[in-house]
Amino acid sequence: MLNFKKLILIFLSTIVWSIGSLRADEGMWMLPLIQKLNIKTMSDMGFKLSAKEIYDINNSSLKDAILQFGGGCTAEIISKDALVLTNHHCGYGTIQKLSSVEHNYLMDGFWAKSREEELPAKGLTVTFLDRFEDVTREATDALAGITDQKAKADALKTLSDQLTAKAIGNNKFLKGRIASFYGENQYYLVITKTFTDIRFVGAPPSSIGKFGADTDNWMWPRHTGDFSMFRIYADKDNNPAEYSKDNIPYQPKKFLTISLKGVQQNDPAFILGYPGRTNRFMTSFEVKETSEINNTIRILVRGIRQDILMKDMVADPKIRLQYSNKYAGSSNAWKKSMAMNESFKKLKVMERMVSEEKTFTDWVAADASRVEKYGHALADVKVGIEGRAKLQYTLQYFREALSSIELTSAAVRYGPKSEESQKDARPGPPSVSPADFYKDYNLTTDIKVAKAMIKLFKEKVPASDLPEFYKTIDSQYQGNIDTYVDDIFSQSVFVSEEKLKAAQAGDQHLMEKDPAFVAGKNISDAISKLNRDIEQYNTLYAKGQKQYIAGMLEMKKGQAMYPDANSTMRLTYGKVLNYSPKDGVIYDYQTTLDGVMQKEDPNNWEFVVPDKLKELYAKKDFGQYALKDGRMPVAFLTNNDITGGNSGSPVMNRKGELIGTAFDGNWESMSGDIIFEPMLQRCINVDIRYTLFIMDKFGGAGYLLNEMKFAK
């Protein structure tokens, strides 16, 4: 086996030499390596920033203005008093929680006219990056010889706690975690600071912030004002603190300067953000699993459930508010899965992966030392993926279908806990409180979903994999699923907060016999068993994947080899650029308010245009935000390399000034998480001028401009 020092030398050599063939439009680059890998190329492209102006652990830099928003998005600070800009769809869940039928901020929009009117966003957090520390040697030593996935996770958690304590000392406001890169071939300790007193400042109505909704999602041309604003509050010492009326706006180390000069074709543009997950080292076996199992099941199941939700949402304003966020979260991945499968076929992704694997296999076979290191890599991946196929199929139906029944999920969440489950409980995100759950729960909608999902699951999953309650359906209800569902919903104490409270105050053992709890426990037990059964294949797959990626790094020395996204801050740089989706068609790089009016359809909720916006358009009252020809810009394209998690990321010009906010990718490149397509892959961004126009002219919140800094 290659010793550790030699492996690290090869690894670092691979990274450094990759500089020669970088494509500036591709890559989610690690901040500690910008000076070595990226800054020269960026300078050649016309960027005017030094590496330390982007990432510096000793002085303020652009990374100090960028934050992870709510755990799944990115946001940026745009004022001296910690005004935060992100996407409307990133703030969507928080705005929905703050809304009621009487004060529907999702539907109608909201702008605080003073600091006192800003609304506390309960449960929302923002997290700043403090620094990265390379801990590859320590992690490699700690994990040596461990193959069991749970044991590895435990060992890594122990090491993370030890290294974090050493790194932060007595600073109670900092936290640390170890993140792996390059398929667990490299590790960094990521030090962060999290703020919990976040307040909602404002957002446009959904007719602007979600204009085009499902129809336009993942599509270009785009005309969505996808933005919302929040503010970070801190204690008197400028440290994180729980909500208090005595807290004051956080004073950031850095906030972004805003440019109103706009964009032109080929202008340099870069993004700092928190991309969630990519799989650029994926094999053909994984592509097949993703397409034929994961995506196919997700498309089918969510399509059925979403139809049920949408019919009820259209029929009742209260249900629409209750299920808006649930529907949006479901439909986003549903449509992306469709686009991904289409891209897999059109771009021949499977065939390209097979070709690359053959190249790798031939390269390995040409050297005995490579055979020793990497000879089993692809075989292990193949056996792992193919061995778990049947289990993965059933598990995906459990996740997508039965786990979407809210009543049975709530019964397990709020019902009695066994000693075993208490003992095995692991730290995780805080559970939804009963009050929050039932606020957004509609019984009749859930009954419809439950009937459809239980029927679909029985139709698609082998009888041997059906959870226990199907036997009850057959023996006590003569196979009638509708009657069974009606009964458990009529008998369960988990259908309302009032009944749940009454049951919790009584004999807990009675809750164990609740039909919804029994069904929910059947589902969770079956999922637990599937996860245990699949573990042996996942362990083999993880081993093969690590060796495969290590081998690819060595084989492709001299090529661009950035690590996959893993929810750590990354840099991507490129330029403003149009594209041609098919022969004879060229999509311009910019859209304007003209397109909003052209798409208007008062009979379709996705394309309703507010009267005030139409009035501003008719008067051409665009102020300082208009293009030179008098039109109002809305969105623009760049070829930056982004994925989920980058939503809300700042798009910056050559000087590091804010010109827009990233919010989507384009339909034609939905295989981009696996293969970057330079001719097709585009990042869709809200033009900062449209954001400020809507805030100022439409929303009447122009006073916020006074705390911002604008480029001259």
Return the exposure string of 309-334: e unless at least 16 CB atoms fall within 10 Å of the residue's CB, then b: beebbeebeebbbbbbbbbbebbbeb
**Token pair listed for 540:** 């083999």
Evaluate whether 34 touches 22 at the Cβ level (below 8 Å): no
Output DSSP code: residue 606.
G
Distance CA 195, CA 189 (A): 20
Distance CA 13, CA 17 (A): 6
Catalytic residue from among 61, 88, 89, 207: 89
* Spatial CB neighbours of 137, under 8 Å, sequence gap ≥ 6: 4, 8
Q: Is 142 left (phi over 0), alpha (psi -120 to 50) or beta?
A: alpha
Catalytic residue from among 99, 160, 647, 669: 647
Q: How many helices (H) and strands (E) would you count in the chain?
A: 29, 21
> Of 330, 304, 294, which Cα lies nearest the Cα of 456?
304
Distance CA 643, CA 277 (A): 7
Amino acid at 573: Y
Catalytic residue from among 81, 216, 226, 446: 226
Distance CA 244, CA 236 (A): 11
> Of 260, 240, 258, 261, which Cα lies nearest the Cα of 250?
240
Cis, bond preceding 221 (omega within 30 deg of 0): yes
Half-sphere exposure of 313 (CA within 13 A, CB side): 18
Q: What is the phi/psi pair of residue 561, to 5°? A: -135, 70
Cα angle: 346, vertex 545, 383; to 5 degrees: 85
Cα angle: 329, vertex 496, 90; to 5 degrees: 20
Distance CA 466, CA 523 (A): 9
For the chain, what's the residue count?
712
Assess whether 376 carries a catalytic annotation.
Answer: no
Evaluate whether 196 touches 125 at the Cβ level (below 8 Å): yes
174-181 and 570-575 beta bridge pairing: unpaired
3-state SS class at 256: coil
Distance CA 179, CA 160 (A): 9
Assess whether 641 carries a catalytic annotation.
Answer: no
Distance CA 449, CA 521 (A): 18
Burial grade of 613 (CB within 10 A; 0-12, 13-18, 19 or more)? buried
Distance CA 51, CA 413 (A): 47
CB neighbourhood size of 404 (10 A): 21
Distance CA 276, CA 642 (A): 9
Q: What is the phi/psi pair of residue 199, to 5°? A: -125, 140
Assess whether 197 carries a catalytic annotation.
Answer: no
Angle formed by the axes of helices 317-346 and 296-315, nearest 10°: 150
Half-sphere exposure of 675 (CA within 13 A, CB side): 22
Can you tell me which residue has the tokens 């093969």?
544
Evaluate whether 498 touches 438 at the Cβ level (below 8 Å): no
Burial grade of 116 (CB within 10 A; 0-12, 13-18, 19 or more)? exposed
Helix residue ranges, H only, 110-148: 136-143
Cα angle: 687, vertex 691, 693; to 5 degrees: 110
Active-site residue numbers?
89, 226, 647
